[in-house]
Amino acid sequence: MKELEPLRGSEEFQRVFKGGRSLANRVAVLYFLPNGVGKVRSALVTSRKLGKAVVRNRVRRRFREVLRRHRAALGGGWDLVIMARRRSREAPWPEIEGSLVALLKQAGVYHQP
RNA sequence: UGAGCCAGCCAAGCGAUCGCGGGCACAGGGCGGCGACGCCGUGCCUGAGGAAAGUCCGAACAGCACAGGGCAGGGUGCCGGGUAACGCCCGGCGGGGGCGACCCCAGGGAAAGUGCCACAGAAAGGAUACCACCGCGAUCGGCUGUCCGCCGGCCGCGGCAAGGGUGAAAUGGUGCGGUAAGAGCGCACCGGCGGUCAGGCGACUGGCCGGCCAGGCAAACCCCACCCGCUGCAAGGCCAAAUAGGGGAGGGAUGACGUGGCCCGCUGAACCUCCCGGGUUGGCCGCAAGAGGCGGCAGGCGACUGCCGUCCCAGAGAGAUGAUCGCUCUCGACAGAAUUCGGCUUACAGGUUGGCUCACGAA
RNA sequence: GCGGGUGUCGCCUAGUGGUAGGGCCUCUGCCUUCCAAGCAGAUCGUGUGGGUUCGAUUCCCAUCACCCGCU
């Protein structure tokens, strides 16, 4: 998945948090910053406040599935950090997918194929 | 039929499509490389738990002496066994609870010493005598006066600890005898203690004898017995890359470092520590065949052990299980491996197997 | 992953085995024309479950929550 490389290291996280913009709804917070690489790099954050390990793993898997399904529509060079919020624990799948896509569209990262 | 006790097992299932981690294969395809090969791709196989959890114990493994002596510190604590080891497990003993099946118990030492036992109470420990009880003496009063005698008050000397009262706890309990009043003072039974004999590997149990001398708390300090070196896979090892190994202060064969809270001992080097200024933030091994699972036979009451057969069962590195659809049922709990095992503890919808107890009914 | 610490009224805190104390807050009363301040009084607590002890905030065990280090 060349178009979905991971983001690593606290320096890269700090760069996105400080230099980037953010959008949010009840399911997640999206931080985004142009990276000039031509590829989309992304990372998911599920804090301990969200729940126990089973809950955090399930949320991360569902978020990752959203990115996988829509990776063809993600264009340009962006660094993304998606942070899960409380609603993501009990939200049904259509709500999660719809919420994340809405955030990506709002940020201008999402292009119709 | 109802109520209950103990032990064990399972942890929704089946199918389709798209995706993820790991392993193996690839003759053909794409990219890189002279090449071995790597990446992509394709095919097949495989992919969380009974607690993976809490991190409360024990070990393996690794480094430092194949971890040694002492102090300090910590842990364990009825007996016997199991185990690599344990604070775990099994079988007993003693105590407590339940009609019972059965369950629970940190359960050594208080005649080594220190300390504590608030309030109440006379007294909280080798202590004491408040009220009371009894004897003797003196004195006062009453019985009309005196002697004698009797009754009562007060004082002194002495006896005693049965009764009252306090407390969680006061030198054993009940009964009879005994006495001035009383007391294990004597006797019987019970309880405790000591001795002895018998049984048992032992904890302990039972019999006999002695005799009443010994309060509680050690999850208070402590004593005794046994155990414990420290650090932890981010241990430790190998390879590659990078800068410049630069400047200052202190220590070092009078022994740096290892080394831990300390001393000794051991090891054994030309380094080490701090400050200033810089570089790196990769890859591989450890890393999964093990005190392993399952089945059978044998030994043992059992924990467990021995032998034989058989199986290979996650291995990531920002961290693999998700999405959609169809069907079935009782509509699904607690919950996600990170070096690996053995335990303990805690969380938990339900389903299921075996054994046992009590109550009622029938035969 | 490894190691350490803390839980006491609504908030901040004392308390090393013997009645849980103080300040702020809240309520009531007094005072004041009224409010504030002041004075007097009251309510409210040992995170949870066991154990040791006559008696536990204190000692022991388990558990829950939170916090802080190392990497």
Which residue from A44, A48, A47 is spatially nearest to A61, judged by alpha carbons? A44
Which residue from A36, A38, A39 is spatially nearest to A3, judged by alpha carbons? A39
Per-residue flag: A62 CB under 7 A of strand B: yes
CATH of the domain at A34: 3.30.230.10
Question: What confidence tier does A10 reach under pLDDT thresholds 50, 70, 90?
Answer: low
Residue A111 lies in a domain: no
Structural domain total, chain A:
1
Distance A93 CA to B330 C1' (A): 27
Range of the domain at A56: 2-103
Residue A9 lies in a domain: yes
Query: Protein footprint on strand B: which nucleotides are under 7 Å from a CB?
Result: 19-20, 48, 52, 281, 318-324, 335-337
CA A71 vs. chain centroid, Å, equals: 11
DSSP A19-79: HSEEEE-SSEEEEEEE-SSSSEEEEEE--GGG-SHHHHHHHHHHHHHHHHHTGGGB-SSEE
Using one digit for the tens of pLDDT, what is the confidence trace for A30-79?
A: 888 887 766 777 888 888 778 888 888 888 888 888 888 887 787 777 88
Residue A113 lies in a domain: no
Q: Rounded to the nearest 10 degrees, what angle do helices A93-107 and A53-69 cross at? A: 60
Residue A108 lies in a domain: no
Q: How many CB atoms lie within 10 A of CB A92?
A: 7
The pTM for the full model equals 0.79
ipTM tops 0.90? no
